[in-house]
Structure 1
Amino acid sequence: MDPLTFDYEDLHLRVDRGVFELFYLTNPASTFRVPLRWLGALVHYKKPNQPGKLSIGSVRDPNAALYGTDPAAFWYSTSPAFRVPHNDEPLFRAYFTEVAALADRRVV
């Protein structure tokens, strides 16, 4: 099976053999790897007319939702230095829905 990838601006997301990897292409030191069992992702919007913040990390409980994870469920998270406009959130949701299917986990 080929890796499942997603590119958005300077962000490259990749799933291969049960491991999720995040690469921030403008800052090679900002990488993140985690087994799918512990992956959590969320685009959080504080204000309706403002872009949201993407958080990707590991969750405390592997039964937590993979995408749409409650911020309190994160054990560790990394937030790439960019915002996600409301119109682009469905792109992230679609990708993480595919990832969740691979991991036999749910999305919110």
Structure 2
Amino acid sequence: MDLLTFDYENLHLRMDRGVFELFSMGRSELRVPLRWLGALVHYKKPDKPGQLVIGTVRDPNAALYGTDPAAFWYTTSPAFRVPPGDEPLFRTYFTEVAVAADRRVI
């Protein structure tokens, strides 16, 4: 698997050799094998910024991106909001990660 990275504000996401890592403001917040990775941008209200949620899923057959919040075993949410117009950036990155991990997105 090739290295895939994504930078957004003070956030750095990295996938390398079957492992996903989340770095925020210069510190590592999460390191997880791709088979357990789950992610989504959760919007409580339309047209308002959403919260990025990344973590481990209970079922490795769950979608990698667009994961139902109830599917998570553990989550972390970096302290920033994602405007609706920026969600496609995250979807594109996590779709590439899902393809590399032979996982699906919703």
* TM-score normalised by the chain length of structure 2: 0.96
Match of 1:20 in 2: 20
1:49 and 1:103 map into 2 onto residues whose CA distance is 31
Match of 2:9 in 1: 9
Cα deviation code 1:39-61 (max 9, x no counterpart)? 00010101112100000000000
1:87 partner letter: G
1:49 and 1:96 map into 2 onto residues whose CA distance is 22
1:98 aligned to 2:105? Answer: no
Q: Structure 1 stretches (4+) deviating beyond 3 angstroms?
A: none
How many equivalent residue pairs? 106
Identity fraction in percent: 80
Unaligned runs of 5+ in 1: none
RMSD over aligned Cα, in angstroms? 1.1
2:41 and 2:20 map into 1 onto residues whose CA distance is 17
